């Protein structure tokens, strides 16, 4: 049965079966159910690197991509090379239709200060929609405890924003769970995490957290009424 025709009750039952499953079990289910029309998006956070570690054992041929906005940290792109060397997984770079120089010239300067939502839409949402075209399901690495938006997500369900199934294997893990796994399994990770950056996005919109900031995403879009780029919010109006 095509995923888009499944009812709310169908997804509720799927989530009931998988809600207490381990991430590798969820990934095996995803591969068995959707591969080869299964893809994964990663920003090379520790969660994404864990999923790559697991996929390397389960099915390393799953197509994995990174939304290269043109504003990523050099350390993030260097991690892509280390992932390839460690697991043999070449993460595809999916870029916007314009380079950063072209984009900023078109808008008479960068948009990330005054119009961050528009910047995220143009350089993340639109490229992601193109990247998942033709696939039945995509894997993300969000955790429920990261934000209010993500707390509303399911382990698996229909993603109306992008028109395919979304699978969140690490949804029920905590920050502590993630780093315990990284350390125990020697999973490669971004060195910026050791420099006060618990959450890493584009460099203009990311800073290290300061003493007293307990929210791991406190360094994202500082001073703006914004906590998400839009990829994982449940609002489909940005399409």
48/88 Cα distance (integer angstroms): 15
Tell which residue, 46, 234, 27, has the closest CA to residue 137: 27
Question: Can 229 be counted among the known catalytic residues?
Answer: yes
Judge whether 188 and 161 are in contact, CB under 8 Å: no
Query: How far are the Cα atoms of 30, 84, 96, 152 from residue 34, in angstroms, in the given order?
Result: 6, 24, 27, 24
Residue of 54, 64, 79, 229 marked catalytic:
229
Please state whether beta strands 38-41 and 156-159 pair in parallel, antiparallel, or not at all (unpaired): unpaired
Binding positions for [4Fe-4S] cluster: 119-120, 202, 205
Judge whether 3 and 136 are in contact, CB under 8 Å: yes
Binding positions: 119-120, 202, 205
Q: How many CA atoms lie within 13 A of 236 on its CB side?
A: 8
Catalytically active residues, by annotation: 229
């Amino acid at each position: 049965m095509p995923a888009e025709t499944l009812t709310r009750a169908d997804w509720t039952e799927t989530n009931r079966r998988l809600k207490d499953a381990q991430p590798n079990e969820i990934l095996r289910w995803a591969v068995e159910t959707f591969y080869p029309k299964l893809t994964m998006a990663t920003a090379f956070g520790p969660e994404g690197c864990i999923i790559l570690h697991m996929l390397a054992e389960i099915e390393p041929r799953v197509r994995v991509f990174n939304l290269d906005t043109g504003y990523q940290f050099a350390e993030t792109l260097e991690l892509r090379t280390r992932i390839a060397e460690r697991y043999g997984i070449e993460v595809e770079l999916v870029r916007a239709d314009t380079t950063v120089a072209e984009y900023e010239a078109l808008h008479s300067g960068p948009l990330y200060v005054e119009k961050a939502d528009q910047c995220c839409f143009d350089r993340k949402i639109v490229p992601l929609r193109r990247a998942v075209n033709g696939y039945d399901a995509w894997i993300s690495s969000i955790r429920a405890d990261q934000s209010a938006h993500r707390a509303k997500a399911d382990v698996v369900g229909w993603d109306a924003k992008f028109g395919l199934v979304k699978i969140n294997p690490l949804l029920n893990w905590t920050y502590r769970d993630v780093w315990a796994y990284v350390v125990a399994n020697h999973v490669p990770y971004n060195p910026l995490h050791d420099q006060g950056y618990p959450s890493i996005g584009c460099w203009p919109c990311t800073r290290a957290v300061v003493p007293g900031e307990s929210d791991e995403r406190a360094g994202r879009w500082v001073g703006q009424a914004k906590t998400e780029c839009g990829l994982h919010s449940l609002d489909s109006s940005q399409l």
